Amino acid sequence: MTSLGSSPGTSPQARPQTSSQVTRQPSSPGDRPLGVAAIGYAFMGKAHSNAWRNVASYFDVPAFEQKVLVGRDAEAVAAAAASYGWAESATDWREVIRRDDIDIVDICAPGWMHAEIAIAALEAGKHVLVEKPLANTLAEAEAMTEAARAARARGVQSMIGFNYRRVPALALAKEFIAEGRIGTVRHVRAAYLQDWLVDPESPMTWRLNKETAGSGALGDIASHAIDQVLFLLGDSVADVSGRLHTFVTSRPGPSGPEEVTVDDAAWATLTLASGAIASVEVSRMATGQKNSLQLEIYGDQGSLLFDLEAFNELGFLDATVPVREQGFRRILVNEPEHPYMDAWWPQGHIIGWEHTFTHEIRDFLTAIVDGTEPSPSFDDGLAVQRILAAVEESANAKSSIIPLASATTSTSIEGA
């Protein structure tokens, strides 16, 4: 879900630290505030800017400054910078990453730009946050990961923006699974459903062109669903089978009908290393579903349910109690004891989608100043990218089962 002048928890290691804990010091030359540049100012640029603007008001983070917002259209990016709290704007990202006062580069551009910008920024010694998925092709994702590993050896950090890891209810779900509250996980259902392409007269966009987007619903929203499976279970994928489908093959363009060259929906079955099975379904043609990421995790001692459209709630069934007492109970994840929540409002006062980015920026800044590897890393993003590539390879082979080691390395996958 990224854009550059275009219009569309707990960490795996530990519970997030929050505002009640010790303030950290800056990690930049001369102990000055960290200088931040964001590249991209539309959908994701706006979401990330909101997080940069607000994070220090709620969490103890190192000092930083919103230095510059970058975009192609000088007038539009200048207006966005003024609105979003950036000190200045620019149109040349290469010039910006060469600046000595820039320490962090936040990449909110479309996926086809991720590799070039991220690699250049890492080589220039800048900490890098990049939106999901990592790139449009597996080869680009692998090059980015290699650059990130080399930079990390020099103390330069990088992270991929799977923001749903920072939903407090999902961070709590991960804690429950890690604590054995639902026992051994047997199977998972993950469905990410939207309906913004239902109307066949919806106009053509870059997201529907394989050359610019890489893929459709597969890269755009299946990346989130698959990352949640890996994140929640702490597992890896052994093999994949999948199917892709395009329901509307032509859409109105500026000069007439244009061919849609990406998928509208995707289905996949994932065999996990633990032996659990995950089914993944994603669609941008699911009438009535606006932005519903539904997760069902079934263990031998209990189950968990989540829906992004009920952001603050987690369903939990404890199968260890007598049958006459069993049933799903609704946990309102708004208590100070819940992940991230002691930085926000009194109990029962809900938070929303935008808070996930604030949590993401908080965790990234903390990792930079502590000198620890952020999560999810580019390696985590590459793992998701390989699974997406295997789904596409399987679909091209009539849903054949694809071991991950044999996934085609030239497969294109959509930039977020």
Could you tell me the CATH number of the domain that includes residue 383?
3.30.360.10
* Per-residue confidence (pLDDT) for residue 79, from 0 to 100: 98
* Per-residue confidence (pLDDT) for residue 10, from 0 to 100: 35
Q: How far lies 252's CA from each of 3, 148, 159, 234, 345, in Å?
A: 21, 40, 37, 43, 46
Return all residues near 379 (Cβ < 8 A) that are at least 6 apart.
145, 148, 149
Residue 88 β-bridge partners = 68
User: Is there a single domain that holds both residue 314 and residue 253?
Assistant: yes
User: Is there a single domain that holds both residue 159 and residue 171?
Assistant: no
What is d(CA 223, CA 74) in angstroms, rounded to the nearest whole number?
32
* Per-residue confidence (pLDDT) for residue 405, from 0 to 100: 74
Phi first, then psi: what are they for 127, rounded to 5°? -70, 140
User: Is there a single domain that holds both residue 171 and residue 155?
Assistant: no
Q: What is the dihedral of CA 143, 145, 150, 154, to 10 degrees?
A: 140
Q: Would 73 be classed as within a structural domain?
A: yes
For residue 56, give the CATH number of its domain: 3.40.50.720
User: Is there a single domain that holds both residue 186 and residue 305?
Assistant: yes
Domain extent for 72: 29-164
What is d(CA 50, CA 71) in angstroms, rounded to the nearest whole number?
17
Q: Would 1 be classed as within a structural domain?
A: no
Residue 392 · residue 218 · CB < 8 Å: yes
User: Is there a single domain that holds both residue 149 and residue 83?
Assistant: yes
Q: Would 15 be classed as within a structural domain?
A: no
User: Is there a single domain that holds both residue 249 and residue 390?
Assistant: yes
Residue pointed to by tokens 């977020």: 416
User: Is there a single domain that holds both residue 261 and residue 350?
Assistant: yes
* Per-residue confidence (pLDDT) for residue 127, from 0 to 100: 98
User: Is there a single domain that holds both residue 36 and residue 116?
Assistant: yes
Q: Would 23 be classed as within a structural domain?
A: no
Single out the residue of 267, 285, 280 nearest to residue 227, CA to CA.
280
User: Is there a single domain that holds both residue 245 and residue 126?
Assistant: no
pTM of the model: 0.91
User: Is there a single domain that holds both residue 281 and residue 382?
Assistant: yes
* Per-residue confidence (pLDDT) for residue 27, from 0 to 100: 52
Q: Would 19 be classed as within a structural domain?
A: no
What is d(CA 323, CA 63) in angstroms, rounded to the nearest whole number?
53
CA 222, 227, 232, 235 dihedral sign is positive
Name the DSSP class of 413.
-
Residues of the chain short of pLDDT 70, as ranges, are 1-30, 406-416
Q: Would 76 be classed as within a structural domain?
A: yes
How many folded domains does the chain comprise? 2
User: Is there a single domain that holds both residue 259 and residue 201?
Assistant: yes
What is d(CA 333, CA 326) in angstroms, rounded to the nearest whole number?
21
CB atoms within 10 A of CB 71: 28
Return all residues near 410 (Cβ < 8 A) that are at least 6 apart.
137, 138, 139
Q: Would 415 be classed as within a structural domain?
A: no
Q: Would 256 be classed as within a structural domain?
A: yes
Residue 169 · residue 332 · CB < 8 Å: no
Phi first, then psi: what are they for 252, rounded to 5°? -65, 130
Q: Dump the DSSP string for 167-202.
A: -HHHHHHHHHHHTTTT-SEEEEEEEEE--TT-STTS
